[in-house]
């Protein structure tokens, strides 16, 4: 893994401190591109105008983008509004055409990031070209694959990089179209503090009613930009109609967002914070101690199971533990799902520890 991604952030910021990337899911017609870009330029003249020209659709026969003619509409929109342009590229041919029409920023979609061969081909097609590239997270929550995509471009000489967080596909029911899994964003940020991270609010939300909440969360995490799908008339959009908003709604959404300071500055508050943080550190120490003690007891049980050759998983006991915890969680005012998830992890770890103990027995027998 590259220790440092060589990241130059100058391209990202132009006037405003947090970049806005707005535009339709797909460029559909000249009129739609011109009207939407004019509306966005009126909201924020420093925005980057996004539009998909080649659309990676799940099923064949759906609208797959207008291709090269749409690049001309984008170029016209740029000369009219002065907005910079961004589009998705998935194969070297797309790169060649995007460069031909002077697209300013390229992005790699979630369905491309999953495939290192494709990413490598794209990176190689950009050797010697000085253009910003934004890499969306892969569809599934694999941080290494996401980082790998960024590294491939970096190794090909691209230093103007950004990551786009667009959420992750999940089988479980979720209120989001793509679960945000913010903890992965934290992890990426802590591994590469200089790498700009942009939140693709629309593909996480999947519906206009969640846009504001997701955008605010991105700001609360101090991410570097927001990507919001914007269409002059979302009701007739040919892709992602249910998550797009008009430029006017975009203006309202942005106005409602609450800016946050990156850190505490006033001394009194800093002191109060460190008092609270000390208490948290102490509780964390106790939590670790308690977990350690609990696992020691799990080991003792493992030894007993080994001695009497009893299976590890005792369903009735597990049910009792989880029901007991659910009750206590309620009394303690804790969110039940949160406690359930923690106990599933704790139980998994007990089973792992006990399996090692019982496997040791098997090996002894085999050894004899």
User: Which residues here bind ligand PEP, judged by CB under 6 A?
Assistant: 25, 52, 56, 109-111, 136, 166, 200, 203
The residue (of 48 and 325) whose beta carbon lies closer to ligand PEP is 48
Tokens read off for 224: 């570097």
CB of 35 to ligand PEP, least distance (A): 19
- Describe the crossing of helices 247-256 and 211-220 by its angle, rounded to 10 degrees: 40
**Pairing mode, strands 225-229 and 19-23:** parallel
Task: Please say which residue, 25 or 226, places its beta carbon nearer to ligand PEP.
Answer: 25
Is residue 71 a contact point for Mn ion (CB under 5 A)? Answer: no
The C-alpha atoms of residue 368 and residue 356 are separated, in whole angstroms, by: 19
Q: Which residues contact 254 (CB under 8 A, 6 or more apart)?
A: 20, 43, 44
Stretch that binds Mn ion, among 1-9, 39-47, 120-128, 234-242 (CB under 5 A): 234-242
Closest CA to 291 of 336, 352, 343: 343
Give the residue, chosen from 25, 77, 161, 199, that forms a contact with Mn ion under the rule CB under 5 A: 25
Task: Compare residues 224 and 240 and give the one whose CB is closer to Mn ion.
Answer: 240
What does 166 interact with, of ligand PEP, Mn ion, none (CB < 5 to 8 A by kind)?
ligand PEP
Q: Give whichever of 138 and 302 is closer to Mn ion, judged by the CB atom.
A: 138
CA distance 170 to 59: 19
Note whether 200 binds Mn ion by CB under 5 A.
no
Classified as helix, coil or strand, 228 is strand
Residue 40 or 325 having the CB closest to ligand PEP? 40
Stretch that binds Mn ion, among 237-245, 252-260, 311-319, 323-331 (CB under 5 A): 237-245
Angle subtended at Cα 163 by Cα 161 and Cα 165, rounded to the nearest 5 degrees: 165
Site for Mn ion, rule CB under 5 A: 25, 240
């Amino acid at each position: 893994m590259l220790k440092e991604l060589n990241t130059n952030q100058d391209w990202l910021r132009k006037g405003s401190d947090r970049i806005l990337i707005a535009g339709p899911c797909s460029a559909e017609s000249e009129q739609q591109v011109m009207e939407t870009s004019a509306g966005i330029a009126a909201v924020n003249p420093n925005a980057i105008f996004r539009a998909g020209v080649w659309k990676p659709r799940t099923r064949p026969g759906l609208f797959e983008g207008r291709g090269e003619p749409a690049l001309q509409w984008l170029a016209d929109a740029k000369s009219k509004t002065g907005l910079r342009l961004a589009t998705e590229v998935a194969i070297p041919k797309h790169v060649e055409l995007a460069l031909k029409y002077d697209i300013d920023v390229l992005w790699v979609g979630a369905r491309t990031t999953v495939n290192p061969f494709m990413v490598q081909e794209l990176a190689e097609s950009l050797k010697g070209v000085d253009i910003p590239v934004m890499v969306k997270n892969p569809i599934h929550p694999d941080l290494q694959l996401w980082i790998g995509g960024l590294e491939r471009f970096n190794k090909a000489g691209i230093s103007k990089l950004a990551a786009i967080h667009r959420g992750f596909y999940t089988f479980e029911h979720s209120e989001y179209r793509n679960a945000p899994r913010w903890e992965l964003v934290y992890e990426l940020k802590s591994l590469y503090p200089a790498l700009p991270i942009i939140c693709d609010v629309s593909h996480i939300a999947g519906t206009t009613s969640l846009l504001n909440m997701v955008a605010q969360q991105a700001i609360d995490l101090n991410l570097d930009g927001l990507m919001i799908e914007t269409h002059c008339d979302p009701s007739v959009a040919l892709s992602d109609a249910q998550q797009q908003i008009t430029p006017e709604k975009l203006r309202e959404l942005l106005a409602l967002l609450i800016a946050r300071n990156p850190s505490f500055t006033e001394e009194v508050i800093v002191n109060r914070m460190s008092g609270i943080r000390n208490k948290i550190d102490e509780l964390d120490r106790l939590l670790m101690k308690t977990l350690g003690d609990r696992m020691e007891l799990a080991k003792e049980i493992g030894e007993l199971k080994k001695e009497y050759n009893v299976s590890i998983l005792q369903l009735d006991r597990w049910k009792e533990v989880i029901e007991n915890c659910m009750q206590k969680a309620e009394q303690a005012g804790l969110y039940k799902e949160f406690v359930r998830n923690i106990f599933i992890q704790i139980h998994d770890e007990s089973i792992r520890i006990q399996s090692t103990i019982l496997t040791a027995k098997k090996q002894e027998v085999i050894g004899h």
